[in-house]
Structure 1
Amino acid sequence: MPDRKYDLTLAATHYEPYVSGFTQTARSIAEGMANRGWRVAVVTAQHDPELPLRDTVGGVDIYRSPVLMRAGRAFVAPRYPILAGQVARSSSVLHLNLPMPEAALLVPLARRVPVVSMLHSDPHLPAGWSGRAFARASDVASRAAIRRSAAVVASSHDQAHASRLWPVIRNRNFTPIAPPCLDRRGGEPRYRETGGLHVGFLGRIVADMGIGYLVRAFQRIVDPDARLLIAGNYHEVTGGDLTAVQSEIDRDSRVRILGELRGREVNDFYASVDVFALPAVASSFGTVLAEAMMSGIPSVTTNLPGNRYPVAATGFGRVVPPRDPQALERAISELAAVPRHWKEQKARAARARFSVAASLDAYEVLFSSLRGRTAARQHR
């Protein structure tokens, strides 16, 4: 049972210390609202058995449900909906992070508590019958949750309109709110080796991120002083694997694998690169992309709904087709030559649009509008 009453419960099957844009967004919202005086709980899965079932971090009470097994990127935690429902019923608002296979069970267990559903992305799973079946089941659960939600959030209109769930989202109270992105300025260029062009990638090293296409694009740059810095965890994230591109990396001595970076190390990474690249083949919003631009780094990404939004909204970079190393290399080379004053101007615009404060302001308005309401008339 929950320890006390809460203003906000955030339900997310992944949470810190699991590393992804999803978990960074969840943590920034939870701790940000706690810093604004809200009593906040997070209900998540115990994805690491060493983590305590009950914890308090950053002013947020964390409840973890034991995990029996993994299925793709989801955790199978049978008691998760029950635990989340119990904590939600002691709260004024439930913030539900989708996709979540348990969502269809969880929302009814929250009873009359108003629900805000945040759609992070449509699930992108490996080809095959099991992947298709899981995606369909996830979509069914998300549709059921959205129909019972008082409000629905996505990172942008671009992402929401392209989602498989848009037909049901469009009939709800929909609000686009960009995820809270951290100001990473002030780092030291500790990863910089030469005076040549330094291209950077930071994120989960999984197939969805298109690392192989970035390596091939970089190999088209002939400068021996150029460097490609690849940072991110590939040991402890679902689907993490460098094997597919390791042979290509090994053929180019200019490529550096930095591993997982945290805290000030991330600031130092951004201070070390000239151009940031997010060559994703499946992504909805790149928090790392927005943070690179906020740090003054022009960025290139792929033309995917939602994923392209940070660059398209600010003009601070280039958008290229997915899986196109030639276009990626051309964009990187163009961005390496842009003037300093242009980068400074665009960085200010990125900070104004994607800052933690701007995102939390929008969330606080939305959450506050629902406090004191009940969910009795939301479902139709």
Structure 2
Amino acid sequence: MRIPDRFDVTVMLDYYAPYVSGLTEAARITAEGLVARGWKIAVVCARHDRSLPAHEVINGVHVFRAPVLAHVSRGFIAPHLPVLASRLAARSDLLHMHLPNPEAAFVAALRRKTPLVVTYHIDTFLPDSPVNRFGMRVVDASCAAAIRRADLVITNSEDQARGSRIWPVIRRRALRPIASPCVDRNGGSPTMREGDGLHIGFMGRITVDKGIEYLIRAFRGIDDPAARLLIAGDYTTVAGGSNIAQLREEAGNDPRIRFTGLLRGERVRDFYASIDVFALPSISESFGIVQVEAMMAGKPSVTTNLPGSRYPVEATGFGRLVEPRDPVALREALLEMAALPPEDRQVGQEAATKLFGGETFLDAHEEAYRAILNGARP
């Protein structure tokens, strides 16, 4: 496909498809949805895998990748990324950056007169150490610098924005909460069930910030030999590395605990159809697309009481909140939600679908883009 002379929007972020995370999926689904509505979209990102091409078209989205010189924890050194982003921004009517991103300040400064939209997904989280604390301060400063130049800041919810470390900067900009896109995962087959016992599910990147060890401890306190814990998610190509070895040690020789690896396509639908209750025990989270997709499939969510991640449960009432790192409270909440009667599940499913289903996220992005391009306050 020929590369257009100009784009309507250039989207900038670190990782893009085929990498899978909540942030990348939110950007990908939004970009592809806008293309389907007639927008010309470019994505500029890092070439995190050298086997990926420098340019390709994925479902109508032009993806440009900058070379990576070295990987550092969850990030990388890619000095050409801000340059490539600025060049594409100069050929676009609007630049949309997804943060956190250590290059954000440079891209915002180099964009010249192109209007800037920033989606701030979450504060950077790294395991505690002096080096990582310094790294998080650097990324926070870069994100804050970009947000100061933004015409509009998007977050998943106002709760997430107010809970951010850089809320004092965000609050001074035009702010629009737009929940991340959530896919209807109904229609699967319960192929991952093993009997009629309680089935608890987790899906997401297998990393330290997801708090999965607390879920394993909670589950191992359930005596029922027919119960099952399905832990789905990538642990082989995770940026910054996975804590899968620690989690396997936590699971020990409990045959009821199953690590499925990364699920795609129909397997995701089958996963939701196979569980009774969803768990998101994160110690750092901003929304949790997976928990909303579980709710939309009729499965209540038990998640941690963190800014942003608590919003879907609070908004729908379809689940329970527990404090982070508390396996006892987590177990009690999971058992309570597993016993939820069908009529209550139906009400919760309908509430989640009404709030987060469909294409309202695309409508909101189009409305915000057009307001900026027309010179109005978003």
**Could you tell me which residue of structure 1 aligns to residue 334 of structure 2?**
332
- Equivalent-residue separation in structure 1 for 2:4 and 2:243 (angstroms): 40
8 Å CA contact retained: 1:352, 1:358: no
8 Å CA contact retained: 1:154, 1:176: yes
**Could you tell me which residue of structure 2 aligns to residue 10 of structure 1?**
11
8 Å CA contact retained: 1:114, 1:373: no
Match of 1:181, SS state, is coil
Match of 1:341, SS state, is helix
8 Å CA contact retained: 1:187, 1:270: yes
Equivalent positions of 1:115-134 (< 5 A) are 115-134=116-135
- Equivalent-residue separation in structure 2 for 1:26 and 1:184 (angstroms): 19
Q: CA deviation at 1:245?
A: 2.0
- Equivalent-residue separation in structure 1 for 2:369 and 2:66 (angstroms): 25
Match of 1:306, SS state, is coil
**Could you tell me which residue of structure 2 aligns to residue 69 of structure 1?**
70
Q: CA deviation at 1:86?
A: 0.5
Match of 1:229, SS state, is strand
8 Å CA contact retained: 2:156, 2:178: yes
TM-score by length of 1: 0.96
- Equivalent-residue separation in structure 1 for 2:322 and 2:358 (angstroms): 27
Q: CA deviation at 1:49?
A: 0.4
Match of 1:10, SS state, is strand
**Could you tell me which residue of structure 1 aligns to residue 228 of structure 2?**
227
Is residue 2:205 matched to residue 1:204? yes
The residue type paired with residue 339 of structure 1 is: P
**Could you tell me which residue of structure 2 aligns to residue 242 of structure 1?**
244
8 Å CA contact retained: 1:284, 1:305: yes
Q: CA deviation at 1:372?
A: 4.8
8 Å CA contact retained: 2:105, 2:142: yes
Structure 2 residue ranges without an equivalent (≥5): none
Q: CA deviation at 1:356?
A: 4.6
Could you give the per-residue CA deviations for residues 267-288 of structure 1, whole angstroms, max 9, x where no partner exists?
1100000000000011111110
Could you give the per-residue CA deviations for residues 134-193 of structure 1, whole angstroms, max 9, x where no partner exists?
111111111111111100011011110011111111111101110011000001111011
Q: CA deviation at 1:71?
A: 1.8
- Equivalent-residue separation in structure 2 for 1:56 and 1:257 (angstroms): 33
8 Å CA contact retained: 2:127, 2:208: no
- Equivalent-residue separation in structure 2 for 1:306 and 1:173 (angstroms): 19
Could you give the per-residue CA deviations for residues 199-257 of structure 1, whole angstroms, max 9, x where no partner exists?
00000011111111101111111111110001111110022121112122132110111
The residue type paired with residue 156 of structure 2 is: S
- Equivalent-residue separation in structure 2 for 1:356 and 1:15 (angstroms): 23
**Could you tell me which residue of structure 2 aligns to residue 271 of structure 1?**
273
8 Å CA contact retained: 2:190, 2:273: yes
Tell me the matched-pair count: 376
Equivalent positions of 1:48-197 (< 5 A) are 48-197=49-198
- % identical equivalent positions: 50
Match of 1:178, SS state, is coil
Could you give the per-residue CA deviations for residues 45-85 of structure 1, whole angstroms, max 9, x where no partner exists?
00010000000001100000011111222221110000001
Q: CA deviation at 1:364?
A: 1.0
8 Å CA contact retained: 1:42, 1:63: yes
- Equivalent-residue separation in structure 1 for 2:299 and 2:351 (angstroms): 12
- Equivalent-residue separation in structure 2 for 1:162 and 1:78 (angstroms): 31
- Equivalent-residue separation in structure 1 for 2:265 and 2:77 (angstroms): 30
Match of 2:359, SS state, is helix
Match of 2:142, SS state, is helix
- Equivalent-residue separation in structure 2 for 1:96 and 1:248 (angstroms): 38
TM-score by length of 2: 0.97
Moved more, 2-11 or 81-90: 2-11
**Could you tell me which residue of structure 2 aligns to residue 292 of structure 1?**
294
Q: CA deviation at 1:108?
A: 2.0
Q: CA deviation at 1:133?
A: 1.3
The residue type paired with residue 354 of structure 2 is: A
Match of 1:67, SS state, is coil
**Could you tell me which residue of structure 2 aligns to residue 258 of structure 1?**
260
Structure 1 residue ranges without an equivalent (≥5): none
- Equivalent-residue separation in structure 2 for 1:125 and 1:330 (angstroms): 29
What is the alpha-carbon root mean square deviation over aligned residues? 1.6
- Equivalent-residue separation in structure 2 for 1:247 and 1:175 (angstroms): 43
Q: CA deviation at 1:373?
A: 4.4
